[in-house]
Amino acid sequence: MLLSVVIPCMNEEESIPLLVKRLIAATEQWNAESEIILVDDGSNDETWRAICAQSEFHPRIRGLKLSGNRGHQIALTAGLNAAQGQRIFMLDADLQDPPELLSDMMAMMDQGYDVVYGRRSERKGESWIKKVTAHGFYRILNRLSDVPIPNDTGDFRLVSRRALDAVLSMPERARFVRGMFAWVGFRQIGIEYIRDPRIAGETKYPMSKMIRFALDALASFSIKPLQIATRMAFLTLIIAALMAVYVFWSLILYNAVAGWASTVLVISFFSGIQLLTLGIMGEYLGRLYIEAKNRPLYFVDQETSEISDPIVEEK
């Protein structure tokens, strides 16, 4: 049985040597064949060169260089498309997800599970903002989504070929991979682990990317925000009706209604609600437009198997 390991890498030149070392040690415990697929997601450091160098030493390492930066989830998808194994193990390049957990995950899969996902019981070396927002994100997502998506899981998981094929058969462009694995079903189980700090470099998820990622996940797995917008409309209508009653009574009692301040307040309140509703609709409409264009998810620029001797060539 062949095991495929898939790792998206963006500007991870410093992590790659240690990553490969620990991965090879972890996969060697498993007495069968394995391939390691490192996807370079349009890095602008020496990541591709590091991948090529590793593939020279270890024939089981395959490198895939995308034509530009397509984002974590697309890079992961590119690697999953290239994977040929019967079981597929995915993790981050920064060693925040310990490869040593592979043997436990394998043992769980032997019991008949199709997906064994890692659940973070603790996050080390991450900022409190990241911890708080991540904690909140999974809980809000679960509230809104119709599919239960396990809390505090990342893309660190071991999956069977049939679970992977199910995910790869989903044609959507907005790919929230961990949610897609939850959606396909089959027998799934979590395994708790402590998330280590990055071994090198900085996080590739600044706040702006995190917000985009969260909105993508919410919009892909729930239409409840649209329904919430409808409910908000009813709520504002009720408030407007109550205010009408107040104005009517004021006219009868005092023959006048006071208020420049209240007018401004009401106008800004209602225009705020309107813009918010429009914004929510826009988020969905934009995604619909992107799906409708149906562009390819990524292009492969180079593969290590195509290059004769990349390091020597340059010198």
CB 257 within 8 A of CB 247: yes
Q: Is 43 in the site for Mg ion (CB under 5 A)?
A: no
Nearer to Mg ion, 60 or 123 (CB): 123
Q: How far is the CB of 130 from ligand UDP (least distance, A)?
A: 7
Residue 193's DSSP bridge partners are 120
Placement of tokens 């030149």 in the chain: 13
Q: How far is the CB of 36 from Mg ion (least distance, A)?
A: 18
Return d(Cα 287, Cα 308) in angstroms, integer.
41
Residue 10 near which of Mg ion, ligand UDP, none (CB within 5-8 Å, type-dependent): ligand UDP
Sites of contact with ligand UDP (CB under 6 A): 8-10, 12, 41, 69, 71-72, 75, 92-94, 96, 203-205
Q: Is 216 in the site for Mg ion (CB under 5 A)?
A: no
Q: Give the pair of three-digit tokens for residue 138.
A: 């999974």
Nearer to Mg ion, 202 or 313 (CB): 202
Q: Is 15 in the site for Mg ion (CB under 5 A)?
A: no
Q: Is 153 in the site for Mg ion (CB under 5 A)?
A: no
Three state DSSP letters for the chain: CCEEEEEEECCCCCCHHHHHHHHHHHHHCCCCCEEEEEEECCCCCCHHHHHHHHHHHCCCEEEEEECCCCCHHHHHHHHHHHCCCCEEEECCCCCCCCHHHHHHHHHHHHCCCCEEEEEEEEECCCCHHHHHHHHHHHHHHHHHCCCCCCCCEEEEEEEEHHHHHHHHCCCCCCCCHHHHHHHHCCCEEEEEEEECCCCCCCCCCCHHHHHHHHHHHHHHHCCHHHHHHHHHHHHHHHHHHHHHHHHHHHHHHHCCCCCHHHHHHHHHHHHHHHHHHHHHHHHHHHHHHHHHHCCCCCCEEEEHHHCCCHHHHHC
Q: How far is the CB of 92 from Mg ion (least distance, A)?
A: 5
Nearer to Mg ion, 94 or 152 (CB): 94
Residue 12 near which of ligand UDP, Mg ion, none (CB within 5-8 Å, type-dependent): ligand UDP
Nearer to ligand UDP, 41 or 114 (CB): 41
Encoded one letter per residue, x for contact with Mg ion by CB under 5 A and - for no contact, window 80-119 reads: ------------x-x-x-----------------------
Nearer to ligand UDP, 35 or 92 (CB): 92
Residue 43 near which of Mg ion, ligand UDP, none (CB within 5-8 Å, type-dependent): none
Residue 50 near which of Mg ion, ligand UDP, none (CB within 5-8 Å, type-dependent): none
Nearer to ligand UDP, 44 or 255 (CB): 44
Q: How far is the CB of 79 from ligand UDP (least distance, A)?
A: 9
CB 217 within 8 A of CB 141: yes
Q: How far is the CB of 53 from ligand UDP (least distance, A)?
A: 17
Q: Is 73 in the site for Mg ion (CB under 5 A)?
A: no
Q: Is 152 in the site for Mg ion (CB under 5 A)?
A: no
Nearer to ligand UDP, 69 or 151 (CB): 69
Nearer to Mg ion, 43 or 160 (CB): 43
User: How many residues of this chain interact with Mg ion, rule: CB under 5 A?
Assistant: 3
Return d(Cα 11, Cα 301) in angstroms, integer.
16
CB 27 within 8 A of CB 102: yes
Binding site for Mg ion (CB under 5 A): 92, 94, 96
